[in-house]
Amino acid sequence: MYELIEVTERSCYIQSPAKIGLVKLSDGDVCLIDSGNDKEAGKKVRQILDANGWRLDAIYNTHSNADHIGGNKYLQGQTGCRVYAPGIDCAFTRWPVLEPSFLYGGFPCRELRHKFLMAQGSDAQELTQDVLPDGFQMIPLPGHFFDMVGFRTPDDVVYLADCLSSRETLDKYQIGFIYDVGSYLKTLETVKAMQARMFVPAHAAASEEIAALAQYNIDKVSEIAEKILDICRQPHCFESILQKLFDHYALSMSYEQYVLVGSTVRSYLAWLKDAGRLTGIFENNMLLWQRA
């Protein structure tokens, strides 16, 4: 873990729970794409920087999930590097309590206020194309989170953040986190058509070919949507739908899983309702979901 993998002479990644991109900008200067999940990840990155005599110029965050911004504060404090994050995610990066608050839908209880869901805040600035190094292209990848982006480097390596998961991850956890299902599917179709020298997803193996894995992720979304519609042949409240999905996929409930899978299921319900495939009815002061 935390091994530096060279993809090209310039573009690398650090093997970690969420891959950290590292791109050489000039003699001695590098930038990071994301920073890992916590201070300890930041320390591991700092060791790699020091061992190679590199100066960290900037961290370009793809989005604001805690496992992608957790090393920001430590690395920024140690090196003085600039930190950037896109759109709404910039606010979450500056004030990370927004993530568990958003997931829970209110003030998060103590069991949700930890580094897995709430990183330490960092002094982030808004990420725009004009602050990127020469030759970098920012790629919008909405759906998984609010304004998530990826990057194409000058040597044609594409860092894909969390827009898809490995087959192994999907087969194990089944319901991956999605904020906007419609946008997520459009992003996957875009990614499926991409060509690059190498693709580096955060939670799947680096590969020269990405279309098959993108389609596998698309198929999993369709499977879950159909399962929800099957459950809703009879009216069910959200909690009942969530329970039935956990039972069907043999998932174990915890505070973290409740908010992560629960938020995702609510996103599926909203997407299916807006598509006219589900209806919501209020009965006995309870919102029930039923197949249209």
Cα gap 292→286, rounded to integer Å: 18
Cα gap 97→107, rounded to integer Å: 9
Cβ atoms of 124 and 147 closer than 8 Å: no
Cα gap 142→163, rounded to integer Å: 8
- Look at the block and give the residue holding tokens 């006219």: 276
Length of the chain: 292
Task: Tell me, letter by letter, the H, E, C secondary structure of the chain.
Answer: CCCEEECCCCEEEECCCCCEEEEEEECCEEEEECCCCCHHHHHHHHHHHHHHCCEEEEEECCCCCHHHHCCHHHHHHHHCCEEEECHHHHHHHHCCCHHHHHHHCCCCCHHHCCCCCCCCCCCEEECCHHHCCCCCEEEECCCCCCCCEEEECCCCEEEEECCCCCHHHHHHHCCCCCCCHHHHHHHHHHHHCCCCCEEEECCCCCECCCHHHHHHHHHHHHHHHHHHHHHCCCCECHHHHHHHHHHHCCCCCCHHHHHHHHHHHHHHHHHHHHCCCEEEEEECCEEEEEEC
Provide CB contacts within 8 A for 88, sequence distance 6+: 146, 147
Q: What is the per-residue pLDDT for 27?
A: 84
Confidence of residue 104 (pLDDT cuts 50, 70, 90): very high
Checking if the pLDDT of 25 tops 90, the result is yes
Q: What is the per-residue pLDDT for 189?
A: 98
Q: What is the per-residue pLDDT for 156?
A: 98
Cβ atoms of 11 and 157 closer than 8 Å: yes
Edge-to-edge strand list for the sheet holding 137-140: 137-140, 149-152, 157-161, 198-201
Query: What is the tens place of the pLDDT at every residue in 63-91?
Result: 999 999 999 999 999 999 999 999 999 99
Residue 284 structure tokens: 């006995």
Cα gap 68→119, rounded to integer Å: 9
Residue 137's DSSP bridge partners are 152
Q: Is the dihedral of CA 141, 88, 255, 117 positive or negative?
A: positive
- Whether the pTM exceeds 0.95: the reply is yes
Nearest to 34 by CA among 7, 14, 50: 14
Query: What is the tens place of the pLDDT at every residue in 189-212?
Result: 999 999 999 999 999 999 999 999
Checking if the pLDDT of 30 tops 90, the result is yes
Confidence of residue 229 (pLDDT cuts 50, 70, 90): very high
Q: Which domains does the chain have, with CATH numbers?
A: 4-135 (3.60.15.10), 228-291 (1.10.10)
The average pLDDT across 233-249 equals: 98
Rounded percentage of the chain residues whose pLDDT exceeds 90: 99
Instruction: Give residue 243's Cα distance to chain centre.
Output: 24
Cα gap 174→251, rounded to integer Å: 9
The whole-chain average pLDDT of the chain stands at 98
Confidence of residue 43 (pLDDT cuts 50, 70, 90): very high
The average pLDDT across 177-188 equals: 98
